[in-house]
Amino acid sequence: MAESKTKLAEVREWIVEHKLRTVGCLWLSGISGSIAYNWSKPGMKTSVRIIHARLHAQALTLAALAGAAAVEYYDHKTGTTDRYPKFLKPDNLTKD
Per-residue pLDDT at 55: 92
86: three-class secondary structure by DSSP: coil
Average pLDDT score over residue span 2-14: 79
Average pLDDT score over residue span 22-29: 87
Task: Decide which of 76 and 91 is more confident.
Answer: 76
Say how many C-beta atoms besides its own lie within 10 A of residue 42's C-beta.
5
Q: 1 pLDDT exceeds 60? A: no
Q: In 3D, which of 17, 28, 30 has the Cα closest to residue 56?
A: 30
Q: 23 pLDDT exceeds 70? A: yes
The DSSP letter of residue 84 is: S
pLDDT in tens, 39-55: 888 888 989 988 988 89
Instruction: Kindly give, in sequence order, each residue whose CB lies less than 8 Å from that of residue 49, ignoring residues fewer than 6 positions away.
Output: 35, 38, 39, 41
